[in-house]
Copies of this chain bind each other. A is one copy, B any other.
Amino acid sequence: PQDGKTALETARTPNLDALARNGALGLTDPIFPGITPGSGPGHISLFGYDPMVYQIGRGIMEAFGVGMDVTDRDIATRANFATLKDGKIIDRRAGRPPTERNRALIALLSEQIQRIDGVEVRLCSGEEHRFVVVFRGDDLDDRIEDADPGEEGQPAKPAIAKVPEAQRTADIVNKFIARVTEILKDEEPTNSCLVRGFARDPNLPRMSDLFQLNPACVAVYPMYKGLAKLVGMAILPTQIDDTIRDQFHVVREHWNQHDFFFIHIKKIDSYGEDGNFDNRVHVLEDVDEALPELLALQPDVLAVAGDHSTPPSLKAHSWHPVPFLLHGEWVRIDDTTAFGETQCGHGGLGRFPAMFAMPQMLGHALKLDKFGA
């Protein structure tokens, strides 16, 4: 707003500010300076993984977003309803159908297409024209070019195998598109589909192997539960409409069963994407108000972090470095007095790649051995 303060700096957050005074602040770069991360790399970097090495395909992220499971035998893809006319794709989003229409079409397709050549086909609606297809079977391969001409007025493009091993999977995808186009032939504008972002489980090493932790996730949105599952976290039970206080209660109930808790607060991000500065401020104040319940558990180390910035003025994820707060017995206290972007910019932790948040949390919890003699 006019006063130049961010939502975090505008919010009244006495508890977070007290943690800043008794802890240390810094700024993280999720990928590297200037790069805007998606939610996948934004999170796995905070989980201690190099996001340039461990990449999570779009199909997997979409499947997580709608709450689908993905196993080692699956290829997940993002799909659109599209409008086909005279062999050409004339609308890649099929006129953005209402989500209810999408649901009805997916129900119909799910009934009619359950298997292709022995491969299980699972469908799930997204918003408007979007849906997710997961192919489950043996020896599938995700090295396939998008079945999407990329622009309108072009002929429909089949899935094309990039390597011979992916030919069978590409054939199955093309049979799927043909079946959809056959079933929906009288449903213009939603009379065909595009399928893209072919991706399998990236087989990330588990946090239990990497860090000897027994980690748990307390998130309410499917995408973040999916990401947590990818790195081997236990997914603790939550409801989509849980409050922040509810989430903290879940942590408390499982406090003795795990030694690492990832608590994901969704709405700070959502209100940023909506450009709703005031509500963003309110959610931050809600976090602050509920915080004593978490602090009462006396964690060895508490880190308050973000997977990316989402300035309400930009209404999107951004590349700006992200506030980071570290609190715990062994933290060297800096001279910051409140949790906010400006103070984070001269905190004692400096600016660092987000993938180094995890070793710092572990170090301050006295969980790491010395390197070298």
Chain A residues in contact with chain B, CB under 8 A?
4, 6, 24, 27, 31-42, 51, 55-58, 61-62, 197, 309, 311, 314, 317-321, 330, 332-335, 341-342, 345-352, 356, 358-364, 368-373
- Closest B residue to A317 by beta carbon equals B370
Task: Say whether, besides A34-B362, A356-B32, A363-B34, A321 and B350 are in contact (CB < 8 Å).
Answer: yes
Q: Is the pair B51, A368 in contact by a Cβ cutoff of 8 Å?
A: no
Task: Say whether, besides A332-B6, A348-B345, A356-B32, A368 and B38 are in contact (CB < 8 Å).
Answer: no
For A309, what are the chain B residues with a Cβ–Cβ distance below 8 Å? 332
- Closest B residue to A51 by beta carbon equals B372
Docked Cα-Cα span, A282 to B342, in Å, equals 32
Q: Is the pair A371, B38 in contact by a Cβ cutoff of 8 Å?
A: yes
Q: Is the pair B38, A372 in contact by a Cβ cutoff of 8 Å?
A: yes
Docked Cα-Cα span, A31 to B370, in Å, equals 10
Contact for A335 among B319, B342, B372, CB less than 8 A: B342
Q: Is the pair A356, B33 in contact by a Cβ cutoff of 8 Å?
A: yes
What's the minimum C-beta distance from A285 to chain B, rounded to whole angstroms?
A: 21
Contact for A373 among B32, B39, B359, CB less than 8 A: B39
What's the minimum C-beta distance from A207 to chain B, rounded to whole angstroms?
A: 15
Contact for A38 among B4, B359, B370, CB less than 8 A: B370
Q: Considering residues A36, A197, A341, A371, which has the most beta carbons from chain B within 10 angstroms of its beta carbon?
A: A371
Q: Is the pair A373, B31 in contact by a Cβ cutoff of 8 Å?
A: no
Docked Cα-Cα span, A349 to B342, in Å, equals 10
Provide 19 A-B residue pairs closer than 8 Å at the C-beta atoms, listed in order of the A residue: A24-B345, A33-B352, A34-B360, A36-B371, A39-B372, A39-B373, A56-B373, A58-B373, A61-B372, A311-B330, A314-B330, A318-B330, A319-B364, A321-B348, A332-B341, A334-B342, A345-B347, A345-B349, A346-B347
Docked Cα-Cα span, A57 to B372, in Å, equals 8
Q: Is the pair A34, B333 in contact by a Cβ cutoff of 8 Å?
A: no
Q: Is the pair B32, A359 in contact by a Cβ cutoff of 8 Å?
A: yes
For A352, what are the chain B residues with a Cβ–Cβ distance below 8 Å? 33, 351
- For the complex with contacts A33-B352, A33-B360, 9 further pairs of A-B residues with Cβ separation under 8 Å are A27-B348, A34-B358, A34-B364, A38-B371, A38-B373, A41-B371, A197-B373, A319-B360, A321-B349
For A51, what are the chain B residues with a Cβ–Cβ distance below 8 Å? 371-372
Task: Say whether, besides A319-B360, A330-B314, A35 and B371 are in contact (CB < 8 Å).
Answer: yes
Q: Is the pair A361, B330 in contact by a Cβ cutoff of 8 Å?
A: no
Contact for A36 among B35, B345, B368, CB less than 8 A: B368
Q: Considering residues A24, A320, A335, A361, which has the most beta carbons from chain B within 10 angstroms of its beta carbon?
A: A320
For A370, what are the chain B residues with a Cβ–Cβ distance below 8 Å? 36-38, 317
Docked Cα-Cα span, A105 to B197, in Å, equals 67
Docked Cα-Cα span, A132 to B57, in Å, equals 52
What's the minimum C-beta distance from A364 to chain B, rounded to whole angstroms?
A: 8
Q: Considering residues A37, A317, A346, A370, which has the most beta carbons from chain B within 10 angstroms of its beta carbon?
A: A370
For A62, what are the chain B residues with a Cβ–Cβ distance below 8 Å? 373
For A371, what are the chain B residues with a Cβ–Cβ distance below 8 Å? 31, 35-38, 41, 51
Docked Cα-Cα span, A330 to B346, in Å, equals 20
Task: Say whether, besides A33-B356, A351-B352, A360-B34, A56 and B333 are in contact (CB < 8 Å).
Answer: no
Q: Is the pair A55, B349 in contact by a Cβ cutoff of 8 Å?
A: no
What's the minimum C-beta distance from A372 to chain B, rounded to whole angstroms?
A: 4
